[in-house]
Structure 1
Amino acid sequence: MPAATLGRRAAPAALRLPERVRLGAAVAAGNLAALGSRVANRGSGASIRGQVLTRIAPDAFKLLLRGRRVASVSGTNGKTTTTHLLAAAVRAGLGAETGRLVTNADGANLHYGIASALSQARSADIAILETDERVVSDMIAFGYPEILVLLNFSRDQLDRNHEIKSLGRSWRAALQRAGHDGPTVVANSTDPLVVWSAGTAADVVWVDTATSWTADAALCPACGALLTTIEGRWDCPGCDLTQPEASWVVNGHCIVTPHHDTIIPDLRVPGAFNVSNAACALAAAVELGVDLDAALRGMRTVTSPAGRFATATLHGTTARLLLAKNPAGWAEALPLATSDPVILAIDSVAADGKDVSWLWDVDYEQLRGRQVIATGPRAHDLAVRLSYADVEHKVIPDLVAALTTVHEEREAAAGMNGAVPQAPVDLIATYTPFQRLLKMARLR
């Protein structure tokens, strides 16, 4: 799309009077519930707002999407950060008109979370929305997104999404139903399941993200044959599915554009995987009509999306907070954890996935030679895995006690007249303990 398209406003939503009345009442009730949540110190209230809102108006999700230009971001890993990067890029493109944009910055990406965010910005005509993999089909059907960013597929929450091909099949079917009216898809060319899922889209912009995690992509999603890799590119010997040529390419810490210009994104979020996320966000921003330099300028303002990579002092211990929800996420997070000791927090409630067998797919061996503190309700499961990895560790199931222990040990090591080390301790957590940490740090 040419750059001028960013200035175009979407047509206003045309709701019938009964829809407006019902939706208005639902939004008011949701806002009241959110206020109660904040007063009771239970959190920001964004989640309960959406739940109340969609209970009273079950069609709020599709009604609130009407009349907006939508860009949707989905995938197993990286969608929160990529959404923040894309939203920041579009804001920079809008300049003084940033009030036109709404996004679910807190990462609430199910139907009610998206509805909650949209309800707070009824006049915003541009929506940049993180979208759970299970919601993508409805987003395509009801949101008519201009852009759909598809990042990756990985095993996640094994008790609920153990068969990730079924999710890919739903994406593929939804794009096929949308036909030529469907979104421009910005898709990761290095993920075979993403490539297959995007195969029915009318228009695809491929991004070579240089992904290093391949454990979830052994078999061809189209025919079931064992995939082969030749000179770093995957291919199926049993059918015509193969890695497509990408117009955007990640090369180390650089991004190569379709015009063969090499860009150093110079991000304020760490990790090679965030360069990949930035490449997808940048491609999407350009498709939306944002000037490349403006998009980069905006993306460089992102520091700790929804608390990821934030540093906070908790019970005397300064910690850098890292989220890892599945083996692919841990593969990216563990190399970032350079402190000694390092804290690993594991839980297994519904939001984490109750099945923790994935622990055995994570390369915890790389932590050998450092002290690890295993915490959280499933700390003992982690301890078994660390024992087999020959990693020195101690088990402190209570998260507060684990943080306090690090502080006390540092004080003891410093001695009565010494200075307590101030370097942050890296703390990697699954979803539920991570949310608890954000609340403790007043970051949510």
Structure 2
Amino acid sequence: MAGNSDPLTPRAKLAVTAGKAVAAASRAAGRGSGSVIGGRVALKLDPDLLARLAQNLDCVLVSATNGKTTTTRLIAEALRAAGPVVSNALGANMPAGITSALAGGSDAKFGVIEVDEKYLAGVARDTDPKCIALLNLSRDQLDRAAETRMLAENWREGLAGSKAVVVANADDPLVVWAASSSPNVIWVAAGQMWKDDAWSCPSCGGVMQRPGDDWFCGECGFRRPTPSWALSGDHVLDPHGSAWPIHLQLPGRANKANAASSAAVAAVFGVPPQVALERMYQVQAVAGRYDVVQFEGRDLRLLLAKNPAGWLETFSLIDPPPTPVILSVNARGADGTDTSWLWDVDYTRLTGHPICVIGDRKLDLAVRLEVANQQFQVCENVDQAVQMCPPGRIEVIANYTAFQDLRRRVGN
């Protein structure tokens, strides 16, 4: 860590100023937050800008296929107990978006940074993080993301010999294999509901044995490490065996797991579990996720689910039947254009719920629901879908760009 002297060269300052100007122009034109385009311009002017902005910060990087944005937000809240935080809280998680976020935090002590899985090794090189949190790896964006085993390989190579403390999920074999190249790992028993990407051993390809909550490879001996932190019901168990209650406004088991990992990260920075977990209660919604909005006389709860693992977790937290469910799926660039993942989701879990289907790929989803013997109606848009539902609560589950479309339409 450099001292608090100004790390920015004249060129870097120019890059920051230009990036902010471009971002402001983009916002004024109604094209979103402008953070990505602003960051791109800034990095063009100074390719080393991310490293310069990070050198006065104690950084933590958060990467995973599911839960990155929420966990980043929980860690940021926890670390605010120890000093000012700068974070890419809205999920712009590639180098341009990260650079843009850090450029806005001149007085910060901590950088809490969500990182896209494919960029983790590069961002870790640039930011020299104190801590890296690895939550899970599952199939996602099949048309462009590497197969999960290759992503784990990239992490493993990129993190080998890293000085960072790695906080990793002991229940995900792919994450364990990726983190095992690091000299300093803190293992968290955060659970793993979706197991379909880890039936073969990432180390040797042998068949993974899964007795109870344990796992090991019967061929090479690669096995689940002993965790020092654990999620246990509504509590986090710390390395001393103390149980700390989790109080969240966010629903579901997955968010308790995110809180457990976040508490372990906060401890690396000297924030005790009780303080960290109390501060996490402040988080009500994350970039619109879990928000309940009034629309057409109904209460819509907005839930984001981008891949099979995410849909499985989301099904576990919706209200029981006969609560209506609206499903919306797009396949635009940011979603990944391959929708074959729909066949990996167990839609029989929605039995008993009236279902309305919308989005660009509503017919793909309709075929999948037909095969799963679900009762559903295909609708033109969210307005029509909502009108088909009785007054009261509606659970709305959408993938990435479909979720953004919904937020714009229902005023969230």
Are the equivalent residues in 2 in contact too, given 1:342–1:371 (CA < 8 A)?
yes
Change (3 A) 1:316 1:43: farther
**Which amino acid in the other structure matches residue 125 of structure 1?**
K
Q: 1:67 aligns to what?
A: 56
* Unmatched segments (≥5 aa) in structure 1: 1-8, 414-420
Q: 2:124 aligns to what?
A: 140
Shift of residue 341, structure 1, vs aligned partner: 1.9
Q: 2:102 aligns to what?
A: 118
Shift of residue 438, structure 1, vs aligned partner: 3.1
Are the equivalent residues in 2 in contact too, given 1:43–1:439 (CA < 8 A)?
no
1:373-428, Cα deviation, whole Å (9 max, x unpaired): 111100000000000111111112x4xx32x2244345xx6xxxxxxx2x331111
**Which amino acid in the other structure matches residue 112 of structure 1?**
A
Shift of residue 14, structure 1, vs aligned partner: 6.1
SS at match of 1:158: coil
Inter-partner Cα distance in structure 1 for 2:169 and 2:2? 28
Residue of structure 1 aligned with 2:230, choices 249, 266, 275: 249
Map residues 333-344 of structure 1 onto 2, 5 A cutoff.
333-338=314-319, 340-344=323-327
Map residues 26-425 of structure 1 onto 2, 5 A cutoff.
26-91=15-80, 93-94=81-82, 97=83, 100-178=84-162, 182-314=163-295, 317-338=298-319, 340-396=323-379, 398=380, 401-402=381-382, 404-410=383-389, 421=391, 423-425=392-394
Inter-partner Cα distance in structure 2 for 1:408 and 1:161? 37
Q: 1:20 aligns to what?
A: 9
1:87-120, Cα deviation, whole Å (9 max, x unpaired): 10111x22xx4xx310111111100010010011
Calculate the TM-score normalised by the size of structure 1. 0.88
Change (3 A) 1:407 1:226: closer
Are the equivalent residues in 2 in contact too, given 1:137–1:170 (CA < 8 A)?
yes
Inter-partner Cα distance in structure 1 for 2:212 and 2:134? 24
Inter-partner Cα distance in structure 2 for 1:52 and 1:204? 36
Shift of residue 314, structure 1, vs aligned partner: 4.2
Change (3 A) 1:373 1:306: same
SS at match of 1:71: strand
Give aligned pairs, total.
410
SS at match of 1:160: coil
Inter-partner Cα distance in structure 1 for 2:355 and 2:42? 43
SS at match of 2:246: coil
Inter-partner Cα distance in structure 1 for 2:164 and 2:15? 30
Are the equivalent residues in 2 in contact too, given 1:351–1:431 (CA < 8 A)?
yes
Shift of residue 266, structure 1, vs aligned partner: 1.5
Are the equivalent residues in 2 in contact too, given 1:13–1:66 (CA < 8 A)?
no
Inter-partner Cα distance in structure 1 for 2:323 and 2:132? 40
Shift of residue 49, structure 1, vs aligned partner: 1.8
Tell me the percent identity.
40
Inter-partner Cα distance in structure 2 for 1:13 and 1:366? 56
- 1:11 has 2:7 as partner: no
Question: Once structures 1 and 2 are overlaid, which stretch shifts more, 45-54 or 358-367?
Answer: 45-54
Shift of residue 144, structure 1, vs aligned partner: 1.1
Inter-partner Cα distance in structure 1 for 2:41 and 2:411? 24
Are the equivalent residues in 1 in contact too, given 2:169–2:191 (CA < 8 A)?
no
SS at match of 1:306: coil
Inter-partner Cα distance in structure 2 for 1:317 and 1:41? 28
State the superposition RMSD in angstroms: 1.8
**Which amino acid in the other structure matches residue 355 of structure 2?**
V
1:15-62, Cα deviation, whole Å (9 max, x unpaired): 4xxx62222222222222222222222222222222222233333222
- 1:434 has 2:399 as partner: no
Are the equivalent residues in 2 in contact too, given 1:83–1:129 (CA < 8 A)?
yes
Change (3 A) 1:227 1:312: same
Inter-partner Cα distance in structure 1 for 2:2 and 2:312? 41
Inter-partner Cα distance in structure 1 for 2:88 and 2:353? 38
- Deviant stretches of 4+, over 4 Å: 314-317
Are the equivalent residues in 2 in contact too, given 1:11–1:68 (CA < 8 A)?
no
Inter-partner Cα distance in structure 2 for 1:161 and 1:112? 19
SS at match of 2:72: helix
Inter-partner Cα distance in structure 2 for 1:46 and 1:315? 33
Inter-partner Cα distance in structure 2 for 1:286 and 1:442? 38
Calculate the TM-score normalised by the size of structure 2. 0.95
Change (3 A) 1:395 1:407: closer
**Which amino acid in the other structure matches residue 174 of structure 1?**
G
Question: Once structures 1 and 2 are overlaid, which stretch shifts more, 62-71 or 307-316?
Answer: 307-316
**Which amino acid in the other structure matches residue 332 of structure 1?**
E
Q: 1:417 aligns to what?
A: none
Inter-partner Cα distance in structure 2 for 1:33 and 1:441? 28
**Which amino acid in the other structure matches residue 357 of structure 1?**
S
Question: Once structures 1 and 2 are overlaid, which stretch shifts more, 304-313 or 380-389?
Answer: 304-313
Shift of residue 138, structure 1, vs aligned partner: 1.3
SS at match of 1:129: strand
* Unmatched segments (≥5 aa) in structure 2: none
**Which amino acid in the other structure matches residue 87 of structure 1?**
A
